[in-house]
Amino acid sequence: MQSFLQSLCFLSPSLLGVGIFFIVPFGVVVYYSLIDGVGSRNLVFLDNFIKIFHNSAFLMAARNTLQFSILAVPLAVVLAIVLALMLEARIPLKSQFRTFFLSPMMVPVASVVLIWQVLFNYNGTINEFLLLFGADKIDWLQSDYCQIVVLILFLWKNLGYNMILFMAGLSNIPKELLEVADVEGASELYKFFAIKLRYLSPTVLFVTILSLINSFKVFREVYLLTGDYPYEKLYMLQHFMNNTFRSLDYQKLSAAAVIMAIVMVVIIALLFKAEDWFGKDVEG
């Protein structure tokens, strides 16, 4: 009992803050999502959610965000594994390469969007290159290619972090196992799929969750590149939230926030299950 009180003492500042700034107001958000207005306070249960699912702006934002995540998350995971594996080889300048790969995470997005604008403008450097090869110019930010511009910025920024996670995962693989495989004459490819990937599965899970969350945050890049009103394909969920904040429609905001919270919890739960399934013969 005494230890319980002591632990509570140490935990209380954090718990109090989390309670005040996250849990209690989130409870209110859930409540708001179930009533018809802050004034009248009639319970309408699922009405707000049904409205949200019929809201074309929300649907478009959800579709764009989903599309971007489907594109970005696998690339962020696979390319980071490639980088980590490359840095396992015995090559010169290894630690410098690690520094270089990691450096973008320390550069604020706001600082480099200018370069992206120069590269991907209609009259920009990339299009000059395309002309050299006889291809047509592409209006990168004002066409269906716009997600690619943001994707490159996203990968540039996030690959280093993911790579470090995979490097840590790779270093945890028992050396003996790989040595045995070498003696048995296993190919690099076999070693990767049969041994390394098995041991990396918890890391793959974590990086997937992390990249998924980061891909939801990609609003920041879009906003800094194109402002409040981007090309349709770049209209993200956070754009929808910002616009709804402007009109202060609490019911819409709350319902959207609750939906996203539920989606996140489901995704996280699924990935946890997936990890249990893959990792069960590795741990212990």
Sign of CA dihedral 119, 122, 125, 127: positive
C-alpha 151/C-alpha 72 separation (Å) is 6
Piece in contact with another protein (CB under 8 A), picked from 48-56, 82-90, 141-149, 189-197: 82-90
Binding to another protein in span 168-197, by CB under 8 A = 168-169
- Number of residues lying near another protein (CB under 8 A): 95
Residue 51 lies near another protein (rule: CB under 8 A): no
Per-residue contact string for residues 247-266; x = within reach of another protein by CB under 8 A: ------xx-xx--xx--xx-
C-alpha 207/C-alpha 76 separation (Å) is 8
Q: Which of 150, 123, 155 is nearest to 138 (CA)?
A: 123
Residue 34 lies near another protein (rule: CB under 8 A): no
Q: Which is nearer to another protein, 42 or 103 (CB)?
A: 103
Binding to another protein in span 122-151, by CB under 8 A = 123-125, 128
Q: Which is nearer to another protein, 124 or 147 (CB)?
A: 124
Piece in contact with another protein (CB under 8 A), picked from 52-60, 132-140, 179-187, 198-206: 198-206
Q: Which is nearer to another protein, 121 or 145 (CB)?
A: 121
What is residue 195's DSSP assignment? I
Closest CB 142 distance from another protein, rounded Å: 13
Closest CB 53 distance from another protein, rounded Å: 16
Near another protein by CB under 8 A: residue from 46, 70, 78, 86: 86
Are 162 and 207 a contacting pair, CB within 8 Å?
yes
Phi, psi of 108 (to 5 degrees): -60, 140
Closest CB 134 distance from another protein, rounded Å: 17
Residue 37 lies near another protein (rule: CB under 8 A): no
3-state DSSP helix/strand/coil % of the chain, to nearest 5: 80, 0, 20
Sign of CA dihedral 116, 224, 264, 210: positive
Q: Which is nearer to another protein, 134 or 185 (CB)?
A: 185
Q: Which is nearer to another protein, 64 or 254 (CB)?
A: 254
Phi, psi of 283 (to 5 degrees): -70, 160
Q: Which is nearer to another protein, 7 or 67 (CB)?
A: 7
How far lies 127's CA from each of 41, 138, 181, 228, 245, in Å? 55, 7, 48, 25, 37
C-alpha 196/C-alpha 148 separation (Å) is 30
How far lies 28's CA from each of 58, 153, 254, in Å? 22, 36, 9
Binding to another protein in span 230-249, by CB under 8 A = 237-238, 241-242, 245
Closest CB 55 distance from another protein, rounded Å: 15
Tokens of 37: 């207005």
Classified as helix, coil or strand, 42 is coil
One-letter amino acid at 42 equals N
Per-residue contact string for residues 52-81; x = within reach of another protein by CB under 8 A: ------------------------------
Residue 97 lies near another protein (rule: CB under 8 A): yes
C-alpha 203/C-alpha 78 separation (Å) is 12
